């Protein structure tokens, strides 16, 4: 009270002010609680040795669940009440405290992270039993500890308000990710994948450091507040943006810096894959948004064009590579690349509009991109958890060995179907809403003055439509081959449903997919504080017609009513049941049509490779395809008798062959050439040390 | 005043519901008319135009036989397909321009509805585990993927002139502009017609009357369906053909559509749309009789050409028609 210096007559007002200040501090306190719970979950799992695995299964995941709930509450509070709170902690260097900040943008990403963490922590206890009771037991403490530091790293980097805190927790997140990817280190492939992940993560971190370096040099300090005030010339602003884009884009997984993603995500434990694909990639998007919209401030349309081009390439190449995969988790990893591409397209269009002086349309693009970020986290998390459920029961990741699981694992199949429909951008689920908003943003291209930009946007949108349709084809393949038809191996034919915890984790995400698809107006209203913070505009027209109608630009422009769509589907189903099914004789069961040749086996079904053969033929130049058919024949005579046919197919990523392998060879070559300075003689090394010392003394004396 | 607004709103909704029912009920008639024209053109004995109704009624009455391993997805798909297509029909202006149901879905959502129906049909095809289903699903998804960019480019060209993707508003804008020849619209018309042919499974992309495995796309996916399920799916594909026909009419030749709710306008609207759709059906029948079905790997060229036309339309709109 004394610090306020208020007189006694204003006591009620002072109390009200201090009450408001106390209430404002609650979300930040909850964020600290979330961080503490994540830390505790790591500490508890240290005790989960072989004889006490429940410390991990029950204890650690319980704390992780609480961390998730606290994250959602803290983030949601900050987002819905349009709150920005800062704090300083006396940790870190003596002359540089830790600056922390919770604002609507961090709140949004905290909600995203918290949702995935809660789903993973519901799913984890049953899933990790595989590591204690399964065929290849692994020690549990590393899994728990590194999951905890992974989540902790992401939470703290979202709260960071200076570059030091940001980079410390960015590195903690990356390193924990490495240990999680290499968790099952017995396979050489896993070690290789983890090394590639670590290499690219560190290259990205170095480039991010360069970006912060540029901003800090002009701002005169490492805090974000100083960087916001930095006077940047257009050249340096573009340079800072380019570094941030490359560095954060490596983490997000944009083409051509994506090669680590398809190797690393499949080999991690499935709930970690869900967290990595759902949350860690979004930290890259968070970084791009934070640096360009917040720290640099004035976005330029040229950056938008770069983002649009890279985003379109990522989306198209991601989905085309995904189509050729028959490893289910690798397929999902490539789809993450595709969806990051779509998010980058939305951000690119937003920057183009903002940089050309159309704040409302730029906000629409930003809303579309952020909506897709949230949607992708939800449905990709759901799909990875579903793939993990299949892996848990059948020990199979290869689509060509699955089949018929809808009969054996009905609830998992339903959840995976929800995820597939959502990611294919089909109404009434959430993926459709964000893609529709992205299309609506692109359709506003006639508002631009630049003729070239007005041509680029429709072409990019057409390629986005192609991507969406190919994604639907890919998920028809993934769901159809894995869950429908007949089982292709004996193990899969005897699969059982997964435990309730895993179903709850998936169900939570599936329900959110439906809710975000049916209530887009509420979500966009909730995101208004973010756009007001970043672009200083919001979209009043989007929700002006009420909660039922989504009208992004104007009611006459375009509108979509998701609740009506759901209602119509339900009504048609109800009417069909009433009029057609009741009173009709029950359907007879019989064998399917087999052209009169006899009983059908699983060998006559379409496989994943055959399903995508037309697409492989149409888009052939995109992959390096090695396809060969060899026939073994027996018997002499003019017409040999064919006794066997083998089909070989190997599909490779061109960027690995054309970009990374040449770079690798170049580096090894250069290293070999420089290696001549290593003579092995101590006299030479002493000469090197002496020379360096003399050189440094000369520099210091200048 | 408020009760007047409420009553006119409820009249609008009642008219919208009536229009949707008329749309759904008239779709088999269009299919019958096309079949009759094709038969006459090909010197075959033609069934009556009411034959599709008799076929649907027969299928509804039939007992149903399901494959042994058909799952709940197989049984739910016909309802989802019919619901999505029926909802798309509700959003397209048939007789009256300004109806509240047009605000549920714009042109891109319409494409989304068709994508939803196709997704579930392809899944149902894979459900039984026969080679026919896989073949149909694989081909259909490839052709659909190639048709999407062309469709979206048409949407772009139209929305650049009309300023909107809302079907009512777009039709109204074209109506108000009068009889104007726009090169971009000409390109868009041909592109949309080609996309419609591909999406509805007509010659030259697919043969709607065939059941040979080398020539089926759509039919291969629904081979295992029978009884009321097959009735719903057949009806949905007839509605889809009518939707594309009415879309072409609405965007490119909308004159005659009713703008008010009085009896004369409605009668004129009904007559106008009937005449125009019948004319389009004649063109379709002639087109299908003159062309043969292409092999599957010529479809990318067909759809690539449609994309090129739409792209030209969009570029023409930017370069020639800016400011309109």
| pLDDT score at A211 | 94
Q: Does the distance separating the beta carbons of A424 and B106 come in below 8 Å?
A: no
Domain that includes residue B151, residue range: 2-322
Q: In sequence order, what are the beta bridge partners of A550?
A: A560
CA B289 to chain A, closest CA, distance in angstroms equals 27
What is the number of structural domains in chain B?
1
Q: Does the distance separating the beta carbons of A476 and B126 come in below 8 Å?
A: yes
pLDDT less than 70: residues of chain A? 1-22, 55, 583
- Chain A residues whose CB is inside 8 A of the B145 CB are 466, 469-470, 472-473, 615
Over the stretch B99-133, which tens digit does the pLDDT of each residue have? 888 888 889 999 999 999 999 999 999 998 888 89
In angstroms, the CA A394 to CA A408 distance is 11
Over the stretch B97-106, which tens digit does the pLDDT of each residue have? 888 888 888 8
Nearest to A555 by CA among A545, A566, A546: A545
Q: Does the distance separating the beta carbons of A443 and B119 come in below 8 Å?
A: no
CA A441 to chain B, closest CA, distance in angstroms equals 12
Strands (E), A534-623: 588-590
DSSP letter assigned to residue A88:
E
Q: Does the distance separating the beta carbons of A479 and B123 come in below 8 Å?
A: yes
Q: Which two tokens stand for residue A43?
A: 């500490």
Among B137, B152, B232, beta carbon nearest to A476: B137
| pLDDT score at A72 | 95
Give the chain A residue nearest B161 (alpha carbons): A446
Over the stretch A510-564, which tens digit does the pLDDT of each residue have? 999 999 999 998 888 889 889 888 888 877 777 777 777 788 777 777 888 888 8
* Tokens 């006559």 belong to residue: A604
CA A365 to chain B, closest CA, distance in angstroms equals 17
- Chain A residues whose CB is inside 8 A of the B67 CB are 589-592
CA A278 to chain B, closest CA, distance in angstroms equals 24
Among B90, B116, B318, beta carbon nearest to A455: B318
Residue A593, classed as helix, strand or coil, is coil
Q: Does the distance separating the beta carbons of A426 and B137 come in below 8 Å?
A: no
Most B CBs within 10 A among A467, A592, A607, A611, hence the mutation to make, goes to A592
Q: Which two tokens stand for residue A304?
A: 């938008």
Among A403, A469, A606, beta carbon nearest to B138: A606
In angstroms, the CA A523 to CA A14 distance is 35
The model carries a pTM of: 0.93
Average pLDDT, integer, range B258-286: 92
Q: Give this complex's ipTM.
A: 0.94
Let me know how many helices (H) and strands (E) chain B has, helices first. 11, 1
| pLDDT score at A315 | 96
The answer to whether residues B147 and B197 touch, using CB atoms and an 8 Å cutoff, is: no
In angstroms, the CA B311 to CA A19 distance is 61
Q: How many CB pairs under 8 A join A and B?
A: 251
| pLDDT score at A8 | 41
CA B16 to chain A, closest CA, distance in angstroms equals 14
Element (H, E) at A97: strand A96-102
The answer to whether residues A307 and A240 touch, using CB atoms and an 8 Å cutoff, is: no
| pLDDT score at B248 | 94
Q: Does the distance separating the beta carbons of B228 and A568 come in below 8 Å?
A: no
For residue B52, give every residue at least 6 positions away whose Cβ sits within 8 Å of its Cβ, in sequence order, or none. B28, B29, B31, B32, B35, B234, B238
- Chain B residues whose CB is inside 8 A of the A602 CB are 129
């Amino acid at each position: 009270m004394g610090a306020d210096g208020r007189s006694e007559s204003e006591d009620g007002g002072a109390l009200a002010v201090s009450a408001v200040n106390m209430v404002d501090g609650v979300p930040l306190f909850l964020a600290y609680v979330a961080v503490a719970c994540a830390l505790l979950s790591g500490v508890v799992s240290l005790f989960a040795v072989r004889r006490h695995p429940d410390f991990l299964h029950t204890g650690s995941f319980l704390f992780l669940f609480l961390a998730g709930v606290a994250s959602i509450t803290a983030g949601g509070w900050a987002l819905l009440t349009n709150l920005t709170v800062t704090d300083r902690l006396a940790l870190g260097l003596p002359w540089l405290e830790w600056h922390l900040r919770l604002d609507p943008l961090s709140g949004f990403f905290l909600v995203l992270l918290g949702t995935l963490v809660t789903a993973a922590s519901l799913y984890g206890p049953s899933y990790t039993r595989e590591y204690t009771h399964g065929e290849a037991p692994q020690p549990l403490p590393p899994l728990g500890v590194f999951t905890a530091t992974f989540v902790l790293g992401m939470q703290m980097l979202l709260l960071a308000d200076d570059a030091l805190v940001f980079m410390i927790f960015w590195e903690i997140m990356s390193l924990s990710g490495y240990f999680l990817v290499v968790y099952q280190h017995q396979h050489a492939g896993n070690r290789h994948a983890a090394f590639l992940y670590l290499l690219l993560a560190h290259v990205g971190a170095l480039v991010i450091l360069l970006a912060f370096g540029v901003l800090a040099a002009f701002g005169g300090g490492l805090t974000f507040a100083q960087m916001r005030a930095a006077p940047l010339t257009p050249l340096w602003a573009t340079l800072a943006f380019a570094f941030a884009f490359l560095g954060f884009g490596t983490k997000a997984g944009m083409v051509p810096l994506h090669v680590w993603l398809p190797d690393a995500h499949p080999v991690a434990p499935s709930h970690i894959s869900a967290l990595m694909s759902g949350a860690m990639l979004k930290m890259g998007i968070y970084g791009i948004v934070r640096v360009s919209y917040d720290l640099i401030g004035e976005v330029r349309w040229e950056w938008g064009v770069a983002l649009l081009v890279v985003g379109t390439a990522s989306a198209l190449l991601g989905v085309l590579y995904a189509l050729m995969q028959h490893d289910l988790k690798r397929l999902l990893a490539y789809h993450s690349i595709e969806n990051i591409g779509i998010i980058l397209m939305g951000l690119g269009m937003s920057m183009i509009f903002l940089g050309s002086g159309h704040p409302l349309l730029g906000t629409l693009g930003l809303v579309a991109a952020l909506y897709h970020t949230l949607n992708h986290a939800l449905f990709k998390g759901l799909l990875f958890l579903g793939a993990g459920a299949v892996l848990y029961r059948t020990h199979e990741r290869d689509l060509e060995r699955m089949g018929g699981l809808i009969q054996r694992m009905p609830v998992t199949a339903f959840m995976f179907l929800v995820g597939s429909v959502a990611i294919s951008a089909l109404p009434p689920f959430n993926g459709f809403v964000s893609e529709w908003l992205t299309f609506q943003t692109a359709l506003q291209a006639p508002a631009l003055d630049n003729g070239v930009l007005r041509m680029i946007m429709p072409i990019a949108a057409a390629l986005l439509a192609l991507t969406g349709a190919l994604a639907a084809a890919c998920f028809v393949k993934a769901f159809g081959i894995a869950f429908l038809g007949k089982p292709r191996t004996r193990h899969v034919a005897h699969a059982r449903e997964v435990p309730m915890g895993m179903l709850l984790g998936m169900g939570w995400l599936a329900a959110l997919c439906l809710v975000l698809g049916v209530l887009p107006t509420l979500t966009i209203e909730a995101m208004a504080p973010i756009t007001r913070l970043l672009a200083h505009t919001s979209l009043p027209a989007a929700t002006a017609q009420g909660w039922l109608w989504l009208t992004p630009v104007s009611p006459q422009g375009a509108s979509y009513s998701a609740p009506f769509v759901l209602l119509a589907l339900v009504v048609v189903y109800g009417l069909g049941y009433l009029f057609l099914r009741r009173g009709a004789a029950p359907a007879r069961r019989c064998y399917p049509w087999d052209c009169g040749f006899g009983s059908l086996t699983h060998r006559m079904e379409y496989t994943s490779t055959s399903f995508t053969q037309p697409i492989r033929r149409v888009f052939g130049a995109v992959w390096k395809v090695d396809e060969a058919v060899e026939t073994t024949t027996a018997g002499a005579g003019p017409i040999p008798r064919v006794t066997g046919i083998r089909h070989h197919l190997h599909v490779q990523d061109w960027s690995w062959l054309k970009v990374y392998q040449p770079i690798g060879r170049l580096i090894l070559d250069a290293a070999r050439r420089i290696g001549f300075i290593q003579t092995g003689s101590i006299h030479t090394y002493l000469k090197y040390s002496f020379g360096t010392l003399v050189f440094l003394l000369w520099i210091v004396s200048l | 005043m408020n009760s007047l607004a409420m009553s006119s709103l409820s009249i609008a909704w009642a008219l919208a519901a009536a229009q949707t029912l008329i749309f759904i009920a008239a779709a088999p008639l269009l299919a019958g008319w096309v079949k009759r024209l094709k038969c006459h053109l090909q010197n075959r004995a033609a069934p009556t135009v009411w034959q599709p109704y008799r076929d649907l009624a027969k299928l509804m009455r039939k007992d149903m036989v399901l494959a042994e391993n058909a799952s709940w997805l197989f049984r739910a798909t016909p309802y989802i397909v019919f619901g999505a297509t029926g909802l798309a029909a509700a959003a397209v202006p048939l007789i009256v321009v300004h109806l509240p149901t047009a605000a549920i879905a714009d042109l891109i959502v319409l494409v989304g509805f068709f994508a939803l129906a196709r997704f579930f049909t392809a899944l149902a095809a894979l459900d039984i585990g026969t080679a026919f289903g896989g073949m149909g699903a694989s081909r259909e998804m490839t052709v659909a993927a190639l048709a999407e960019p062309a469709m979206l480019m048409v949407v772009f060209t139209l929305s650049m002139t009309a300023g909107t993707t809302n079907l009512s508003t777009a039709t109204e804008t074209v109506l108000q502009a009068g009889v104007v020849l726009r090169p971009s619209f000409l390109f868009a018309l041909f592109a949309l017609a080609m996309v419609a042919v591909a999406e509805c499974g007509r010659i030259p992309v697919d043969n709607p009357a065939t059941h040979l495995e080398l020539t089926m796309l759509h039919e291969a996916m629904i081979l295992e369906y029978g009884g009321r399920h097959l009735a719903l799916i057949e009806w949905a594909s007839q509605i889809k053909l009518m939707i594309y026909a009415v879309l072409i009419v609405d965007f490119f030749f909308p004159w005659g559509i009713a703008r008010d709710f009085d009896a004369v306008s409605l009668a004129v609207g009904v007559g106008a749309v009937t005449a125009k759709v019948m004319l389009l059906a004649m063109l379709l029948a002639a087109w299908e009789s003159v062309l043969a079905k292409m092999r599957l790997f010529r479809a990318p060229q067909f759809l690539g050409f449609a994309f090129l036309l739409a792209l030209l339309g969009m570029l023409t709109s930017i370069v020639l028609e800016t400011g309109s």
